[in-house]
Structure 1
Amino acid sequence: MAQRQGDEMEYVADDNEMADAEDDIYFRGRVFGDSESESDDDDEYESMENRMTDTTAAEARKGKDIQGIPWDRLSISREKYRQTRLEQYKNYENIPQSGELSEKECSQTYKGGKYYDFWQNTRSVKSTILHFQLRNLVWSTSKHDVYLVSSYSIMHWSSLSSKKSEILNVSGHVAPCEKHPGSLLEGFTQTQISTLAVRDNLLIAGGFQGELICKYLDRPGVSFCSRTTYDDNAITNAVEIYEHPSGAVHFMASNNDCGVRDFDMEKFQLSKHFSFSWPVNHTSLSPDAKLLVIVGDNPEGLLVDSQTGKTVKSLSGHLDYSFASAWHPDGHIFATGNQDKTCRVWDVRNLSKSVAVLKGNLGAIRSIRFTSDGRFMAMAEPADFVHVYDAKSGFEKEQEIDFFGEISGLSFSPDTESLFIGVWDRTYGSLLQYNRRRNYKYLDCM
């Protein structure tokens, strides 16, 4: 992945801010996409503004924009602005002129699927992005509970109570309150969070200097701190929490120093460390814990043995670097997301070619998630579009969720009932929630 140097970190704000696509978009004197005041004096006003501009499903059915954007007062229509975004959005490439796959090479999908219905958009919580290529910063633990990164804080949002709470603040000094061998008791100061993972009661935050901060949500303080490496380019790119066949909770960290590290959270110790020939941007462990998908700064991905780290098969087809991967619960199908604007679906029983090649609209596929029942797969572009595919029908039909703003992450709830999407924008940053569509609802009977 690109190192965090120079102006690259301003890529999201400078090149793809909503205001930049059309200079004359104004709303009562405020430029569309301008930053809002973050001073303490404005907190009360901002809180009131957020309550006023949140959107519910009932309001959306009456015609209100789901993000609260007042198109009727702007000098451009939503349709025209969408076209402008499609034409002007700059997709980042690590391999210049890597090209795009032709429509003929990509799978034909039919839009119009309706799997998840818009439920609400809240601007009370605003997710943020620190590295333009790393977008795993939103995690749901139930259909009402979601965790996300907001500046130097990890926040919890309850859609049931419509309340937010700060779970961890890393702007100052963070140190473990428990003693475990290998834990850095001195902790960290001003950690810049690059990636996040939350599962059950365990939260893992990764940082730009290789930091790993482990917190159990049902315990006070931080349980464990570790630094994966002291290399100059030490970014923790991704974290995956899983249950080891032994029953112990483990997590796997993908790092820019070309390493993949497995930690046993029962013993709070590093259990495995594999090294590869290029920076690892994301890994996914198969449901039976036997195989690992490894993707990173190489057009070819790898399928490796999770016990030995030895390559089982190379994955050929992508044109640029990959930043996302995920396994279907059946253990046969997995997917990889790339900066060539495609998500490739693979079957371990025949890896000679992809099962499907799914193409985005604007840019790289930065996040991929399957529902726990295996019915749906969601893939997120860097901005504006989340695609939900019907995996049961062979990824031939999709629902396209269309909005405006950079995407900080997406997450299905464990019970598949909710889909949360983090939107980063200086004016319209928010958290979107969609609920799974059911044929019959309790309210329909009343």
Structure 2
Amino acid sequence: MDLNDKIPDTSSADARKGRDIQGIPWEQINITRKKYRQSRLEQYKNYENVPNSGEEAMKDCKPTEKGGIYYEFRRNTRSVKSTILHFQLRNLVWATSKHDIYLVSHYSIRHWSALSGVDTELINVQGHVAPREKHAGSLLEGFYQTQVSTLTVKDNLLVAGGFQGELICKHLDQEGISFCCRTTYDDNAITNAVEIFNTSSGAVHFMASNNDSGVRYYDMERFQLFKHFQFEWPVNVGFFGFLAISVTLMFYIWIFLLVLLLQACFVES
């Protein structure tokens, strides 16, 4: 049996009595929490693409004062367990409010309510997942045994991305799956991140960033591919505001260069 199964939940009352908020029985271990933390800070090396980036960032960080109240612990539960297959996967635990948690547990996408403690399965991707609606570009045959790599939830809309470029869309207030597609058949197709956002016109879109160096916008009303940006490198995370500003800036730079070129032509003539 997993050790976590033997450790009961920790409440705020337990924490006030001195119990560790993670439920770790330090009194039964030959090291204190303080010494273990210090040892971990000294010995554990974080993965980083830029050497010494952590040390450089610390120079610009304002040191915090110990003893300050930055949050209030409420509860730690082990009744719901998220499954993260690789440390670089993103957003497999998603909170839409103080009490609503969406997570991936093995092949199950679930919702857990911190208020009621109720755990509900929304999508089981271990078997066959297929859309109930018909949209152009949707894979009506669906997917089998999808490994979920990222997740996003907003305004009763859920989008899950997979290791093979899969996208699964569901309206949380409706039965079944609304849309399934494969963004790319590239050998390195993993979906790194997905984001749901509202455009300036109020339309609901979602964006998928993949390891095939592509970022794709989809219209969530008709589930149609709206835009496809191709980069020279795999995109880990994309945010609509940043990309929109970047594209707009590139457009104005292009206009500016065109004006300079026309002016140069007139001067020469």
TM-score normalised to the size of structure 1? Answer: 0.53
Letter in 2 for 1:255: N
User: Contact (CA 8 Å) 2:158, 2:170: kept in 1 or not?
Assistant: yes
User: Contact (CA 8 Å) 1:130, 1:193: kept in 2 or not?
Assistant: no
Give the equivalent residue in structure 1 for 2:266: none
More displaced, 196-205 or 134-143?
Answer: 134-143
1:395-442, CA deviations, whole angstroms, 9 ceiling, x for partnerless residues? xxxxxxxxxxxxxxxxxxxxxxxxxxxxxxxxxxxxxxxxxxxxxxxx
Report deviation, 1:140. Answer: 1.6
Query: Do the aligned partners of residues 126 and 310 (structure 1) sit closer, same or farther apart at CA in structure 2, a change above 3 Å counting?
Result: farther
> For 1:224-373, what aligned pairs fall within 5 Å after superposition?
224-286=179-241, 291-292=242-243, 304-305=246-247
Counterpart Cα distance in 1 of 2:58 and 2:96: 39
Letter in 1 for 2:163: F
Q: Secondary structure at the match of 1:165?
A: strand
- Does residue 164 in structure 1 map to residue 106 in structure 2? no
**Would you identify which runs of 4 or more consecutive aligned residues in structure 1 move more than 4 Å?**
307-312
User: Contact (CA 8 Å) 1:196, 1:238: kept in 2 or not?
Assistant: yes
The root-mean-square deviation of aligned C-alpha atoms, in Å, is: 2.3
Letter in 2 for 1:278: W
User: Contact (CA 8 Å) 1:264, 1:271: kept in 2 or not?
Assistant: yes
Give the equivalent residue in structure 1 for 2:63: 109
> For 1:37-116, what aligned pairs fall within 5 Å after superposition?
46=5, 49=6, 53-94=8-49, 98-100=51-53, 101-102=55-56, 105-112=59-66, 113-116=68-71
- Does residue 36 in structure 1 map to residue 2 in structure 2? yes
Give the equivalent residue in structure 2 for 1:140: 95
Counterpart Cα distance in 1 of 2:31 and 2:64: 29
> For 1:121-136, what aligned pairs fall within 5 Å after superposition?
121-136=76-91
Report deviation, 1:107. Answer: 2.8
- Does residue 191 in structure 1 map to residue 146 in structure 2? yes
Counterpart Cα distance in 2 of 1:308 and 1:212: 30
User: Contact (CA 8 Å) 2:90, 2:193: kept in 1 or not?
Assistant: no
Query: Do the aligned partners of residues 292 and 109 (structure 1) sit closer, same or farther apart at CA in structure 2, a change above 3 Å counting?
Result: farther
User: Contact (CA 8 Å) 1:304, 1:311: kept in 2 or not?
Assistant: no
- Identity among equivalent positions (%) equals 64
Q: Secondary structure at the match of 2:36?
A: helix
Letter in 1 for 2:52: G
Counterpart Cα distance in 2 of 1:279 and 1:218: 34
User: Contact (CA 8 Å) 1:172, 1:190: kept in 2 or not?
Assistant: yes
Report deviation, 1:104. Answer: 7.2
Query: Do the aligned partners of residues 216 and 111 (structure 1) sit closer, same or farther apart at CA in structure 2, a change above 3 Å counting?
Result: farther
Q: Secondary structure at the match of 1:60?
A: helix
Counterpart Cα distance in 2 of 1:109 and 1:218: 45
Letter in 2 for 1:99: N
Query: Do the aligned partners of residues 310 and 61 (structure 1) sit closer, same or farther apart at CA in structure 2, a change above 3 Å counting?
Result: farther
Indicate the structure whose relative CO is greater, using CA pairs within 8 Å and at least 6 residues apart: 1
Q: Secondary structure at the match of 2:239?
A: strand
Counterpart Cα distance in 2 of 1:227 and 1:103: 38
User: Contact (CA 8 Å) 1:261, 1:273: kept in 2 or not?
Assistant: yes
Counterpart Cα distance in 2 of 1:36 and 1:174: 30
Q: Secondary structure at the match of 2:116?
A: coil
- Does residue 205 in structure 1 map to residue 171 in structure 2? no
1:226-268, CA deviations, whole angstroms, 9 ceiling, x for partnerless residues? 1110000001000111112222211111111111100000111
Counterpart Cα distance in 2 of 1:212 and 1:107: 38
Report deviation, 1:137. Answer: 1.1
1:126-168, CA deviations, whole angstroms, 9 ceiling, x for partnerless residues? 1111222123111122222110111111111111111211111
Report deviation, 1:94. Answer: 4.1
TM-score normalised to the size of structure 2? Answer: 0.86
Aligned length: 251
Higher fraction of helix: 2
Higher-Rg structure is 2
Give the equivalent residue in structure 1 for 2:267: none
Counterpart Cα distance in 1 of 2:125 and 2:166: 11
User: Contact (CA 8 Å) 1:178, 1:222: kept in 2 or not?
Assistant: yes
Q: Structure 1: any 5+ residue segments left out of the alignment?
A: 1-34, 38-44, 294-302, 313-446
